[in-house]
Structure formats: structure tokens, C-alpha cells
Structure 1
Amino acid sequence: MAWSQNNAKYAVCTVDRVVLLYDEHGERRDKFSTKPADMKCGWKSYMVKGMTFSPDSTKIAIRQTDNIIYVYKIGEDCPIPGGMSVSQQKVPRAIHPDGKVQRVLSPVYSGLQSTLLSSDWLKASCSGKGILSGHADGTIVRYLFGDEGSRGSQGKLVNHPCPPYALAWATNSIVAAGCDRRIVAYGKEGHVLQTFDYSRNPQEREFTTAAASPGGQSVVLGSYDRLRVFNWSPRRSIWEEAKPKEIANLYTITALAWKRDGSRLCAGTLCGGVEQFDCCLRRSIYKNKFELTYVGPSQIALQGSGGNEKYFFENENVCMIFSAGELTLVEYGSNDSLGSVHTEFMNPHLISIRINKRCQRGMEDNKKLAYLVDIKTIAIVNEDSTYVRGKHSSFPAT
């Protein structure tokens, strides 16, 4: 199962190797069949072991047991039949947004190449710049991309006591569990932080899958008729277990997927059922216009009553909200908006925001916004609270 990056699509692959596409409300919109790497081997010669959407949510990559990854173009509304083969090599590979294929795991720990082909457990970090690989002998391998590589060691991280069927990479630790009915939280370098032992509980069975919330502050593990939820406590720096969710006749949970904004969790079962759970700490109405859903101690999913707002999160410091020609900036960590301006050019690539990039002497903050007033005029707004809000200068654009 997989949620799209824009939270509008949800994909489920069945044991029949058919991908079902749903909208965010759970209504089925379309479906398409996958295909084997070699048509001579027949349609039942493989299984689907993983799916993920592209950043623009118009393509979906599908990983199969016949050592191939297909990328299907699904567009905005419906899928286009037929896939494009990305790689047919016998070595694990990663797909980059620019279409290039890069070998990621074999140079790190070449001894796992043969084992990795039969491994079902691949997890990405919350930042998307790292991969965890779990193996049948209990080995957990980590690989980091780009600047993330300077934050920890790469290669073999730890030997878990059993195959880590349930594997999740949260913000502060790595959570693994399996058939021994024990949940272990590991630190960044593989040391044990916490252990939750349910091996003496006759009502508990093996853990089959796990998923970390998009913010990395919560981890959910599935077993038989039960979901166990763990939340990270920043004050105590430990994982705290919430009340488990027990559902009779749910049977074995085979897949878990969080919505990208953290507001919903979907669980797939051995009997073909898909359950959708609403995840929130509390809800409130802001100015009779927005419904605020608190999905974590420092995370909100925002839904407007009009439904015409557009949100852009490309900037690491500020969220841009467009509505009816009005641009509103919300700085992360602040309860109030940074400011708002009027512009008809609602393209985030035509807007420049700088938060404390070049602090000047005697100034506590340096926050500036540059945007297009019209097609030939650029306006620069000083959003520093020590200056008059909205004061700006304009000059012709070249």
C-alpha cells in the first residue's frame, strides 16, 4: 500500500497483482494490472513487494520478486496501461527524480546481495535521504544519501535477534520486531534504547509489519487482531506505549501506510480487507474557516472549509499558502502568520523567501520576501517584526 505525495491518491496491490487506486476519502477510482518481467514465465511467476509514488504523484514505481521495477504513469485522474522497465539488473537499485538509476546497497555491504533479493523489508527515513534494509538472518543495513551521510555510519548497523518483519525508521530511533514478539528500539549507531517484551503474553502473536508517521514521532506495529502504537516523548526521551487498538476478526495485518500529512493510517489484512483509521490528538476550528487536526505534538494537518487553498512546502523554513490571489506565509514554529501579500503569480518558483540568511549587525532577525506584483515588477517585503509590516520597495523585472 502507498499514499501519494499530494495526499490525493491511495494505491493498494492485491495478491492477484492488481493495483487499485482510491481517492483520499476511500472511494475507488481505477485499477490496473501489473505484468511480469518475462511474459514467458506467466502472470503467476512473481509477487509485488513494494510500491511508491513519484514526488509529483503522477507515476508509481512497483517492485516485484522477479527482480524488476516497473514505473507506471497514472496521470491526474486515471492510469495509462503499460509500464516502463526501469531496471532488470540482479542488483538492488534506487530511482532518482531525474530518471537516473544508481546502485545504492551493493557497494556498502556486498555480502548481502544474494540475501537482499529475497528480503521484503526496505524502509526509508523520514527525510527520504536514507534506506534501511532488513534481512532473513536478522541483519539491518543502513545507507545514507547526500548530506545525510555525515550524520551516521553506513553499512551493517545491527543484528536483530530474529528476522525484522516489522521495521520502521523514526526520527529518534529505529524500531524492529518479528516472530519473537519483542519490540526493540535502536539508536542511531545500533545500540539498544528500549525493549518491549510480549513473549509471555499468550494473546500476542508475531509482529508482521510496522510504519512510522511522516513526522517520525509515532510508530505503529501490526500483529494478529491488534495494532500497537508507540509515541516518542521529547521530555523523557523515550518511547511510550499508547493503548493498543484491538479489533476482533481482523486477522493478520500485512501492510501499513500513513497518509503524508499524518492524519490517517491504513491497514491491510491477510483476508483482503483495508481498514482506514483517523489519527489525531484533537481538533479545533480556527476563525470559523479552518479545521485544525493535531496529528502530533508539533504537527498539524490543516483543512480549509473552502477547499481552494494551495499549500507549498518546498521552502524548509516557511509554508506558502495561496488563496484567491492572496499569498500567506507561515513560519514553522510560529503560531502567527509571517505576513501576507497580494499576487496573481502563484508559482513558488517565482517567489523568493530568505529567513535569517544574512543577519545584519544590530538586527535580531532578517526576514525578506521577493515576489511579482505584475509581470514586470518585483516587490521586496521586509517581514522583520522590528520593522513596519508590509513595507516594501518595487523595481522593474528584467
Structure 2
Amino acid sequence: MAWSANSGRFAVCTAERVVLLYDEHGERRDKFSTKPADAKYGRKSYVVKGMAFSPDSTKIAIGQTDNIVYVYRIGEEWGDKKVICNKFIQMSAVTCLLWPAENTIVFGLAEGKVRLANTKNNKSSTIYGTDSYVVSLASNVSGKGILSGHADGTIVRFFFDDEGSGESQGKLVMHPCPPYALAWALNSIVAAGCDKKIVAYGKEGNVIQTFDYSRDSSEKEFTTAAASPGGQAVVIGSYDRLRVLNWSPRRGAWEEAKPKEIPHLYTITSLAWKRDGSRICAGTLCGGVEQFDCCLRRSIYKNKFEMTYVGPSQVIVKNLSTGTRVVLKSHYGYEIDEVKILGKDRYLVAHTSDTLLLGDINSNKLSEVAWQGSGGNEKFFFDNENVCMIFNAGELTLVEYGSNDILGSVRTEFVNPHLVSVRINERQQRGVEENKRLAYLIDIKTIATVDLVGNYSVGTVSHDSKIDWLELNETGHKLLFRDKKMRVRPAVLAIRFYLGWTVEHRIAE
């Protein structure tokens, strides 16, 4: 089973090697049959062992035991023609499969190799090889690292990009049994198998916790596991039962929730977590698929929005009138406090212990910036569609929607948004890629202008009367302001270039 990256499609491959496609509400919308590597051996000559959607949700990769990986283009709309666009022939059976990044499919083989298939050049290559059958694959939250579990109990780690973590690659753990249930969570690696023990390993393979059910006669072997998209929960499937582990940031440990027991469900053969974290599906030995809602809590905001907390660091905000959704998530794994919707019900604001999350619901541009708690005394202004203006303790901070870095910060006591003007790439200029400028009041009679790209002062404008309104033009090179006597004054901020040196000129009034 597999969920698409955009959470709009859910695919299930049956024992008859037919892929059924469902929408996010569970309604079947399409299907197609998989193909054998060699038609002369017939359609019943293989078993599908792995399936994954492409990051753009328009393709599905299928790993088969007849030594081949097929990639099917399924299109963007229901009913689009299904076409094989890539095929990768191997030397042994494909046993498991992931699609963590664009053009990059990772799969394990019965001979012990972990290989990479490039859909762009239609070639496959070996990432690393072992002498033991690959029983499971898992990727980290970002998709830039993979784990492989092997029949001899070995767990191997590989990074396409370690993202500055400095964590080691290669053989990481020797698990007591084949780790058929393997998940890479945010803070640890969780593995389980036929010994009826769930073990959480640290970043360098040290044992953090062990959950031992070997003396529980009702428990059977663990067959599959899945980590939530945020990496803060892991579900492990066995016989008639789903066990759930939740990461507690305060304790720095895994806490077991009450298991979900379903009589006559039989062995759970596959798990797939929806990419927004709101649902998990469990496939069973007898051909059933069970779908479960996943949330810590759910609330209605202003009778207009539904807030679903699917994890400590992830909230789904749904507009009840339009049905549109935004997934607000802390990329650092911090626990999200209350989410507020401000600025005419368009903008999201949420705090964590160390960051501030902001978002534009209309454009789906989300930001998370480093932010030290100030007791909720900030004042937010949403007059500009590109930038959120935050006033706090005599400081103005600018955050551009969609960026995870603070755009700029200046000291000012004037918190009226009519006394601040920000322009962000509003008109294309020849030879200028980025044009971001700010005008604000230093004091009641002095305007300062700052280039936010280079973080330098463009100039100042002094006036003989109190200023009560100002505005930059689209390029940020002209300024219009008004004083208390209702007099409107223009100012031009001109820049000339001499042999690479920048000379700033100001022409006022």
C-alpha cells in the first residue's frame, strides 16, 4: 500500500497483482493491472513486494519478485491512461522499495544488495551490497537517508545528504532477529521482528528502550512498522493488534499508547501513513484494508476552521466552507502550542518553545523562524501580503511567507503599520534579481530606508514636522510621506554605480 505525497491518492496492490486507486475519502476511483517481466511465464509468475508514489504523485513504482522494477505513469487526473515509463531489470527478486526523492527509487534485492534506480536516465546502480536478504527499507523524515534491514539482523544506514548531522554510515545495528518491522523516527530507529520485542536505537546504534512482549502469549511476531510523517509516532503491526509508540519530548523517551486490538483481523501485512499524518491504513493477510484516524485532539475554531493535531509538532487546519487544508508543521520537531488564525481569517500564527510558525492560508506559504518566547506580547500586522510585520519590545521583525529565515529586524517605537512600508520583488527590474526594501521611522520626524537583501542602509529623510504616513513605491526607490499638517512630500532614493562602488544619494522635497 502507498499514499501519494499530496495525500490525494491511496494505492493498494492485491494478491492478484492489481493496483486499486482510491481518493482520500476511501472511494475507489481507478485501477490497473501490473505486468510480468516476461509475458511467456504468465501473470501469476510473480508477487508484488514493494510500491511507492513519486514525489509529484503522478507515477507509481512497483517492485516484483520476477527481478524487475516498473514505473507506471498514472497521470494527474482519475482515468488517465496508465503507461509504463521506466523498467529496471535486476539479477534477483525485488523485496522492498522506496521513492524518497525526485528521480530516485531505492529498492532491496533477495541477494542482499540495496540499489538505486534513476528514472531520468533509466539506469540502476548499487548503493551498497551485503550477503543477506533485504527484508525492509525505511527513510528518515526528510527522505535524504535510508535504512535497510537484513535477514541476518543487520541494519545498515546510508545518507544521500546527512544535512550536517555528522552521523555515521554503514552497518549500524545487529538486531537479534530479522527486522521486518523497521521505522526511522525523528529521534531514534525502531525495529521489531519475530522475537516479540520492540527495540528503539539511538542515532549511533545504542539501545535506548526495549518493549518486551515475549512472555505475552497473545502476542505474535511483529510484521511491519510505519513512522508518522513528522517522525514522532510509530505504529507496529502484528496479529490482531496495532501497537503505537509516541515520542515524549519532555521525557526524551518513547511512551506506549493503548494498543488497538481487533479480533479476527489476523496478521497485518502492510501499513501506510497518509502524508499529512491524519490517517493510517493497515492491510491484512485476508485482503482487508482498515483505515484509522490519527489525532491527539480536534477542535473547531471560530466555527470556520477545524484544527486537527495529528502530532505534537503537526496541525492540519481545514477550512470548513471550502474544504481546503493547510498542514502546519515544526520542521525541528518542537511541540506546537495553540494555533491562531488572524488577519481576516487568512494568516496562521503558532508558537513553539524555540520557534514561531507563520502561514498564508491562501497561498499555502509557511514559515518557521527562530523565536524566543516573549509571553505572547507580540503584535502582528498582516497589511502586506508578502510579509508579516511583528512588533515586540521596541523591535520590528519582518518574516517573508514561505521563508524560514527572518527577513530583517530594526529598532523602532512606532508600531502603526502606516508608518512602515515593505516592498518585496513587486516589479521586475533589469539586472536586479532580488529587490526587498523597508522604510520606517527612526523618530517622529526621520524616515530610514533599508535594503533587506544586502542588509544596509539606503538613506534617511529628515523632516521639520511630525510624519503620520509613509509609503515606498513598487521598486523601493521612491518614497511618499505625509506630515501632521496634511502636507504630502516626495523623496527619491537614487543609487549610482562607479567601478563597482555604490554611492547613495538622497534628494528630498
Q: What band does the TM-score fall into relative to the shorter chain?
A: 0.7 to 0.9
Task: Give secondary structure in 2 for the equivalent of 1:394.
Answer: coil
Indicate conservation of the 8 Å contact 1:258/1:264, yes or no.
Answer: yes
Residue 98 of structure 1 and its aligned partner are, at CA, apart by: 5.1
**In 2 relative to 1, CA 67–358 (structure 1 residues): closer, same or farther, beyond 3 Å?**
same
Residue 103 of structure 1 and its aligned partner are, at CA, apart by: 3.1
| Whole-angstrom distance in 1 between the partners of 2:201 and 2:192 | 11
Which residue pairs with 1:103 in the alignment?
Answer: 125
Higher CA-based Rg: 2
| Whole-angstrom distance in 2 between the partners of 1:121 and 1:284 | 37
Farther-moved stretch of structure 1 (266-275 vs 33-42): 33-42
2:153 to 138, 143, 147: 138
| Whole-angstrom distance in 1 between the partners of 2:163 and 2:385 | 37
Task: Give secondary structure in 2 for the equivalent of 1:161.
Answer: coil
What whole-Å deviation, never above 9, does each CA across 1:50-93 have from its counterpart, x for those lacking one?
Answer: 11111111111111122221111111223523413332133643
Indicate conservation of the 8 Å contact 2:153/2:175, yes or no.
Answer: yes
Which residue pairs with 1:249 in the alignment?
Answer: 264
Farther-moved stretch of structure 1 (330-339 vs 261-270): 330-339
| Whole-angstrom distance in 1 between the partners of 2:159 and 2:281 | 28
What whole-Å deviation, never above 9, does each CA across 1:266-289 have from its counterpart, x for those lacking one?
Answer: 000000000000111111122322
Matched, 1:81 2:100: no
Which residue pairs with 2:207 in the alignment?
Answer: 192
Task: Give secondary structure in 2 for the equivalent of 1:267.
Answer: strand
Which residue pairs with 1:346 in the alignment?
Answer: none
Matched, 1:32 2:32: yes
Counterparts of 1:1-398 in structure 2, within 5 Å, are 1-76=1-76, 77-90=78-91, 92-95=114-117, 101=123, 103=125, 105-106=127-128, 110-112=129-131, 115-116=132-133, 119-148=134-163, 150-307=165-322, 309=324, 321=360, 323=362, 327=363, 330-332=366-368, 339=382, 341=384, 354-356=403-405, 370=424, 372=426, 380=436, 393-395=473-475
Farther-moved stretch of structure 1 (23-32 vs 93-102): 93-102
Which residue pairs with 2:343 in the alignment?
Answer: none
Task: Give secondary structure in 2 for the equivalent of 1:175.
Answer: strand
**In 2 relative to 1, CA 313–251 (structure 1 residues): closer, same or farther, beyond 3 Å?**
same
Indicate conservation of the 8 Å contact 2:278/2:293, yes or no.
Answer: yes
- Which structure 2 segments of 5+ residues have no match? 92-112, 332-355, 387-399, 413-421, 443-447, 449-467, 477-509
Indicate conservation of the 8 Å contact 1:22/1:30, yes or no.
Answer: yes
| Whole-angstrom distance in 2 between the partners of 1:72 and 1:149 | 35
User: In structure 2, what residue type is equivalent to 1:287?
Assistant: K
| Whole-angstrom distance in 1 between the partners of 2:175 and 2:471 | 58
May I ask how many residue pairs the two structures share in their alignment?
A: 374
What whole-Å deviation, never above 9, does each CA across 1:327-364 have from its counterpart, x for those lacking one?
Answer: 47543378997846459xxxxxxx9855546767879x
User: In structure 2, what residue type is equivalent to 1:228?
Assistant: R
Indicate conservation of the 8 Å contact 1:311/1:321, yes or no.
Answer: no
Task: Give secondary structure in 2 for the equivalent of 1:229.
Answer: strand
Indicate conservation of the 8 Å contact 1:381/1:393, yes or no.
Answer: no
Residue 233 of structure 1 and its aligned partner are, at CA, apart by: 0.7
Task: Give secondary structure in 2 for the equivalent of 1:280.
Answer: coil
Farther-moved stretch of structure 1 (210-219 vs 283-292): 283-292
| Whole-angstrom distance in 1 between the partners of 2:57 and 2:169 | 30
| Whole-angstrom distance in 2 between the partners of 1:95 and 1:283 | 41
User: In structure 1, what residue type is equivalent to 2:63?
Assistant: R
TM-score, length basis structure 1: 0.82
Task: Give secondary structure in 2 for the equivalent of 1:86.
Answer: strand
**Higher normalized strand content (fraction of residues):** 2
The root-mean-square deviation of aligned C-alpha atoms, in Å, is: 3.7
User: In structure 2, what residue type is equivalent to 1:130?
Assistant: G
User: In structure 2, what residue type is equivalent to 1:284?
Assistant: S
Which residue pairs with 1:348 in the alignment?
Answer: none
Indicate conservation of the 8 Å contact 1:380/1:394, yes or no.
Answer: no
User: In structure 1, what residue type is equivalent to 2:298?
Assistant: R
| Whole-angstrom distance in 1 between the partners of 2:439 and 2:193 | 51
User: In structure 2, what residue type is equivalent to 1:28?
Assistant: R
| Whole-angstrom distance in 2 between the partners of 1:383 and 1:252 | 65
User: In structure 2, what residue type is equivalent to 1:4?
Assistant: S
Task: Give secondary structure in 2 for the equivalent of 1:105.
Answer: strand
| Whole-angstrom distance in 2 between the partners of 1:228 and 1:87 | 36
What whole-Å deviation, never above 9, does each CA across 1:117-145 have from its counterpart, x for those lacking one?
Answer: xx231111111011111111111111111
Task: Give secondary structure in 2 for the equivalent of 1:40.
Answer: helix
**In 2 relative to 1, CA 315–187 (structure 1 residues): closer, same or farther, beyond 3 Å?**
closer
**In 2 relative to 1, CA 215–395 (structure 1 residues): closer, same or farther, beyond 3 Å?**
same
Farther-moved stretch of structure 1 (220-229 vs 147-156): 147-156
Task: Give secondary structure in 1 for the equivalent of 2:272.
Answer: strand
Indicate conservation of the 8 Å contact 1:311/1:319, yes or no.
Answer: no
User: In structure 2, what residue type is equivalent to 1:7?
Assistant: S
What whole-Å deviation, never above 9, does each CA across 1:127-171 have from its counterpart, x for those lacking one?
Answer: 101111111111111111124475311111111100111111101
Indicate conservation of the 8 Å contact 1:214/1:258, yes or no.
Answer: yes
- Which structure 1 segments of 5+ residues have no match? 344-350
What whole-Å deviation, never above 9, does each CA across 1:24-70 have from its counterpart, x for those lacking one?
Answer: 00000011011111222221221111111111111111111222211
> Percentage identity across aligned positions?
57
**In 2 relative to 1, CA 328–205 (structure 1 residues): closer, same or farther, beyond 3 Å?**
closer
